[in-house]
Structure 1
Amino acid sequence: MNATLRRAAVALTATAMAVSLAACGSAKEANGKQGSGEKKKDGPLTIGLLLPEDQTARYENFDKPLIEAKIKELCSDCEVTYVNAKQDASVQQQQMDSMITKKVDVIILDAVDAKSVSGSVRKADSAGIPVVAYDRLAEGPISAYTSFDNEEVGKVQGQALLDAIGDKADDGQIVMMNGSPTDPNAAMFKKGAKSVLNGKVKVGKSYDTTKWEPSEAHKNMNGAISAIGKKNIVGVYSANDGMAGGIITALKGAGFDKLPPVTGQDAELAGVQRIVAGEQHMSVYKPYKPEADAAAEMAIALARGEELKAETTVDSPTTKGVPATLIAPISLTVDNIEKTVLKDGLYELKQICTPKYEAACAKAGLTG
């Protein structure tokens, strides 16, 4: 674990929304289902970790090492078997089937396509392998779930956009660049954002972006500019930072004298730098450590057959009462970079304030 992640681990411990593990009924029982009755071994465990893609920086740089570190802390002789589906749902189904064939003790799954993976989740359940849905609420008989409060993420984004637009809300229109239709989180972000934006500003164009592709967001933004007219666009709701990058490139290419406010999510390094430079209005900072810790804790408890109690429950389209830990998101702007991603060790100042951004950092008060 590198120094940045160690600092993140220390600083974020106080903010973690801890999972309570106690003798009050297994995850299956909390779901209204009977457990398999199989008591797992007390010794080494094999834990399958399946992440959805590697285009978004967070999965390889933060989620994977943080989950692995927490598992090692809790169980020094446990083994993590890791695979990344690279945005291919069929590949992820094959990866799930391989984990089941290898008889791993538990699976942590961040689904590419929450619906299509449900068959593999059922296979795991039939084989007595509990599945912890990570970040995205997979369908099928999952045993536990940890993520952020995704409707709240959308509300945070929507309110930040509305505040930035101000009086112009009455005179123009916004473009909504939503996430992938196969990602259940995208629907929750959209729902949360619209609950704030509806009736306050007109939505001129709205897009669902396949696989969260920045290139598709760029193309759609060009289409929106042509359809609505440059002078009529007062803001852009972007569901994440990757798409915000594509959107901002399109806005620059269209020759905007001043860029309209653009939202984002994930506090990616490029997104933080755009915020410092005044090109992107905000992002949503989601402290990854409490989410990763919760997944590791739940996975080990379930693999050992221990009884699990989480702080809340959620319903998927197929499974009711799933034990869940939900973590609050934070609105990230130029005003709180120092108190969030720098303080928590997500990035070092020199990573953000490269020579290209030195002047903007100085203007924002971000100096060593």
Structure 2
Amino acid sequence: MGKVVLVTGVARHLGSRFVQTIRRQPGVDLVVGVDVQPSVHDLVGGIDDGRLAGYTFVHADIRRPVVARILAEHEVDTVVHLNVSTTMLGSTSRSTVKETNVIGTMQLLAAVQKSPTVQRLVVKSTTSVYGSAPRDPAVFNEQMQPKMLPSGGFAKDAVEVEGYVRGFGRRRPDVAVCVLRFANIVGPDADTPLNEYFSLPVLPTVLGYDPRLQFVHEDDAVEVLRLAAVEPRRSTTNSGTFNVAGEGVLLLSQAARRLGRPTVPMLLPAVSWVAGLARQTRVLDFSPEQMRMLTHGRVVDTRHLRENFGYTPGYSTEAALADLARSTGAGLLPPEQVARWTSRVAELLPTDRGGK
């Protein structure tokens, strides 16, 4: 019998895209999707080449002790945990998302720990675990610790999740564990806070700061997940923790010009107030840690990924943003006019911008 892959978080865009990809892989016989609601995408239909692994959806809340039964029933050997969310889905409350991220992961790991069939665990995480602070190093690698641990929100959830995963790895050293720390995922269909932010007609920014940013395209995110789940190289089991980001760095001001979006520099308290209002009205789900990232920026080293996976993301940071720009269309102003406008604003600001 071939691989049986269990995927959590299939209701979201990344989860459903990963299911569509993993079903096409040779050696995969069955994919089991687990979530509190099914995907809005078609995960059941066939494809032209006729090679498609079976798919079954299990309506289950991973916060409940139900995963052990699912693992046993389908004899799952690979678990891909994508239900670690950085944003709220629909009308879901922040407390519900936190419970799913943390309590759900604990329940999942408890089930996997008892399973005799599971051989591999892949966990989606985020580079937000490094935080964003004024005195951060220029580039984070996987061994570095943040100057200041995230104190709340989704970044803190990710820190807790990774802690539980490390504990699981010590208890089950026979299971290959891979943690993928994704930079901000962007793309035509990505359902991420930064995608929503860049879709705004005008971008509020923090006065005096121009942070360095990295992006990973949704296509590359799916491909790295595929490699982690089904294609470990001979020299390694692709176990460990890996930063995932496109090559290169963009300043927020550069990103705005490429998108044709005018920026509105505001004092930090005003930007925080606008972000809080957007969250309350569900116009935009932008958390405090995202605000810190748009103030101080964050850049990570991806050498560990390239060396162990033998993979370099097909989209650089700039190319990933360009693809997003094509899908969102032109902003309120032509890019050339935005460039002139933002350059004029830059001339009026202090020379010490405080960002990196």
Q: Please give the range of the TM-score, normalised by the shorter of the 2 chains.
A: 0.3 to 0.5
TM-score, normalising length: structure 2: 0.42
**Higher RCO (C-alpha under 8 Å, 6+ residues apart):** 1
Give me the TM-score of the superposition, normalised by structure 1.
Answer: 0.41
